[in-house]
């Protein structure tokens, strides 16, 4: 669902997932809903303008009369379109198509944060908008058996819009249908007919563990999954007379992960033979492997996969982007209903395994993540004072190599976001709530903590200049008043105060979240000592995700984490990513964690995929700049580092590095709006560059 409104020289568009895009226009006049265009869209709008300004994006222009394609050069060179009929493809938070007749010029704006389209005279244009996020297209019902699970995985692929390598683009992977368990199998007709028939078969032993760990591979390959009485799994490609035997459990986890990452990576390169192309730094791998990009793009899914199977893992291991997400799930029949949500994120799935933390291991692991450098002295005042804080037994998980890790099993591990089944169903409940400004409520329940309150309130209000955000502040609330805050529709509640074994401390006692009938706060941060259990209760009562603490935290540490987390969150970072960066600012960062669906984001940033920079001084006038760009929500995109010496784009998950002189680094930071890890701390680029220049 798309909603739009017209303001002074701008058009604001919002979808069901609260994604938002604003198109600015010189002399922009909107007539109303527009005619259909030859692209899949949810809404069209007719307008006139002489100049249009969009958020930074990948831009393609397609000539309808001459069957030609143009791409805006990310180095900043303008794209001049001769007179003709065009559809311009602009890949922002909400997909934008723009149809017009005549000539035009598309260029990067001077700030590198926007794209501008200019016409020689006032021009009629048709906007087409499509939401990237789609609600599940129906529900599959299967019996609680391994055969039922195999049937469900087979039909979850109905959400994919193509069987070509273009399925690596997240815009061509919709949300899989929901899965429910019942006495018999029921597949709606539209899901049955939408399920791709690639002919690829995945034969799995009749057990639930191998079905879980191979589900992401089967989903991406669009394979038909069948349970058999064989002891080892196998991939069967009947059209090319090929069968590949995979390892039994537990080595099957490794085999499935490697095959998925290899196939996704090679598809991400081969797709450049299709309509959407980019000068990727990784493209040279195809020549090194002697792979024909054009032939593979036109090949059948079985032919293409057979070629990929012949590529040794060792030949590409060093170039594989780091995978974005792994979720560790108890392999039980009831958790089959979680598969649509996890496969929507294209998460790897692993069997949860833990061990006890030994001695001072928690402290040591915190220090490993702490970027050493000049640190302010800690005020030894803990947020809990003399109160009793709920204790959490933390364990050590066995983790794969991924940027982020989710945990849907017993135990409370470090280095993961501890999720719950309710978090995913809760997320669906918020999708229909669109068109309203983002509502943020800050609760200060202890006046001694006003420093954090002042900082975060200013951060949220500054961001409201760019996004539709309503910020409210509450102080010294009683239990009934705080309960109303959580029961009221808020997108984010930032609680600053104390947490005790009885609940969140209020002016007249403590509020136990278990006492609420329902929580309507979509996300939250309980910046109080030992708030883990209250945070988990918020998830069970209706929230999607939030940040919590395991134990007592020092007040100045809480201020530092709270302020950094607020700025990252409000600039589009997922809750998990925002917390993982914010907690690295303090020595005991492992005291902070995320509960619920950590991949969830509160707002959008200037770019669809937020970037993190790391700067290391090499000598007096040289620095090493490293950029990390990935998304736990929509893997498959690429990014272009706006560094003067750069000529390539990079797949998200691949780190890019550049050696720059001071002036070059300052220029890059001036044009950026991103967090930077430098000299033992996390800065914002606009705050850091003046210190480097001096």
Of 72-86, 166-180, 202-216, 449-463, where does the model show the most confidence? 202-216
Distances (CA, A) of 623 to 153, 641, 642, 654, 663: 48, 16, 16, 20, 10
Poorest-pLDDT segment among 53-62, 243-252, 355-364, 603-612: 355-364
Q: What percent of the chain has pLDDT over 70?
A: 92
Q: Tell whether the model's pLDDT for residue 337 goes beyond 70.
A: yes
Count Cβ atoms within 10 A of the Cβ of residue 438 and give its class: 0-12 exposed, 13-18 middle, 19 or more buried: buried
- Contacts of residue 128, Cβ cutoff 8 Å, sequence gap at least 6: 34, 37, 39, 41, 43, 44, 96, 97, 98, 99
Residue 598 has a pLDDT of 96
What is the distance between the alpha carbons of residues 562 and 374, in angstroms, rounded to a whole number?
A: 20
Residues 505-511, mean pLDDT to the nearest whole number = 94
Of 66-70, 504-508, 689-693, where does the model show the most confidence? 504-508
47: helix, strand or coil: strand
Q: Does the CA dihedral 643-403-375-378 come out positive or negative?
A: positive
Give residue-wise pLDDT tens across range 398-435.
999 999 999 999 999 999 999 999 999 999 888 755 55
Q: Note the maximum CA span of the chain.
A: 76
CATH number corresponding to 395-596 = 3.40.50.1460
Q: Tell whether the model's pLDDT for residue 694 goes beyond 80.
A: no
Structural domain spans, the chain: 2-131, 139-348, 395-596, 611-693
Residue 532 has a pLDDT of 95
How far from chain centre, in Å, is Cα 59? Answer: 21
Residue 402 has a pLDDT of 95
């Amino acid at each position: 669902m798309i909603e739009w409104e017209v303001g002074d020289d701008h058009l604001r568009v919002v979808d069901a997932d609260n994604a938002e895009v604003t198109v600015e226009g010189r002399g922009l006049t909107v007539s109303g809903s527009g005619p259909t265009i030859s692209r899949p869209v949810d809404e069209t709008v007719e307008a006139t303008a002489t100049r249009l300004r969009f958020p930074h994006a990948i831009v393609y222009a397609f000539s309808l009369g001459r069957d030609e394609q143009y791409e805006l050069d990310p180095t900043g060179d303008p794209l001049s379109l001769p007179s003709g009929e065009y559809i311009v493809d602009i890949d922002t938070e909400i997909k934008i198509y723009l149809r017009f007749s005549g000539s035009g010029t598309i260029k990067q704006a001077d700030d590198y944060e926007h794209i501008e389209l200019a016409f020689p005279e006032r021009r009629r244009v048709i906007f087409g908008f499509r939401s990237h996020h789609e609600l599940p297209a129906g529900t599959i019902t299967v019996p609680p058996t391994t055969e039922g699970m195999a049937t469900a995985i087979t039909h979850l692929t109905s959400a994919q819009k193509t069987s070509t390598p273009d399925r690596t683009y997240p815009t061509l992977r919709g949300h899989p249908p929901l899965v429910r368990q019942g006495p018999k199998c029921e597949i709606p007709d539209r899901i049955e007919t939408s399920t791709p028939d690639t002919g690829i078969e995945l034969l799995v032993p009749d057990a639930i563990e191998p079905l879980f760990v191979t589900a992401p591979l089967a989903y991406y390959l669009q394979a038909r999954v069948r349970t058999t009485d064989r002891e080892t799994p196998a991939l069967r490609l009947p059209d090319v007379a090929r069968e590949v035997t995979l390892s039994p459990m537990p080595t099957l986890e490794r085999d499935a992960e490697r095959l998925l990452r290899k196939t996704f990576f090679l598809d991400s390169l081969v797709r450049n033979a299709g309509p959407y192309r980019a000068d990727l730094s990784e493209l040279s791998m195809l020549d090194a492997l002697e792979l024909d990009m054009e032939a593979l793009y036109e090949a059948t899914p079985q032919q293409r996969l057979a070629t990929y199977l012949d590529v040794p893992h060792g030949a590409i291991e060093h170039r594989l982007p780091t995978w974005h997400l792994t979720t560790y799930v108890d392999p039980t029949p009831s958790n089959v209903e979680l598969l649509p949500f996890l496969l929507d994120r294209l998460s790897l799935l692993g069997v949860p395994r833990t061990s006890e933390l030994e001695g001072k291991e928690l402290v040591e692991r915190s220090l490993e993540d702490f970027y050493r450098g000049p640190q302010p002295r800690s005020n030894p005042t803990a947020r809990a004072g003399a109160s009793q804080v709920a204790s959490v037994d933390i364990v050590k998980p066995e983790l794969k190599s991924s940027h982020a890790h989710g945990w849907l099993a017993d135990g409370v591990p470090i280095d993961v976001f501890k999720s719950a089944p309710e978090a995913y169903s809760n997320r669906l409940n918020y999708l229909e709530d669109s068109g309203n400004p983002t509502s943020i409520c800050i609760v200060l329940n202890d006046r001694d903590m006003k420093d954090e309150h002042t900082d975060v309130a200013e951060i949220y209000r500054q961001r409201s200049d760019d996004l539709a955000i309503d910020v409210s502040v509450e102080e010294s609330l009683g239990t009934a008043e705080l309960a109303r805050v959580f029961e009221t529709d808020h997108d984010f509640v930032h609680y600053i105060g104390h947490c005790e074994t009885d609940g969140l401390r209020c002016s007249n006692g403590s509020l136990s979240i278990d006492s609420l009938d329902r929580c309507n706060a979509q996300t939250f941060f309980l910046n109080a000592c030992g708030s883990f259990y209250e945070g988990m209760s918020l998830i069970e009562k209706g929230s999607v995700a939030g940040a919590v603490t395991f134990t007592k935290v020092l007040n100045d540490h809480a201020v530092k984490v709270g302020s950094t987390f607020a700025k990252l969150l409000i600039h589009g970072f997922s809750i998990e990513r925002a917390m993982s960066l914010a907690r690295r600012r303090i020595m005991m960062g492992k005291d902070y964690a995320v509960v619920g669906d950590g991949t969830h984001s509160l707002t959008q940033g200037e770019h669809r995929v937020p970037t993190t920079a790391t700067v290391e001084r090499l000598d007096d006038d040289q620095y090493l700049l490293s950029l990390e760009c990935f998304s736990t929500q929509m893997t498959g995109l690429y990014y272009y580092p706006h560094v003067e010496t750069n000529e390539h784009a990079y797949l998200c998950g691949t780190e890019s590095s550049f050696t720059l002189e001071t002036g070059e680094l300052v220029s890059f930071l001036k044009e950026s709006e991103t967090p930077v890890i430098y000299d033992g701390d996390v800065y914002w680029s606009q705050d850091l560059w003046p210190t480097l220049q001096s």
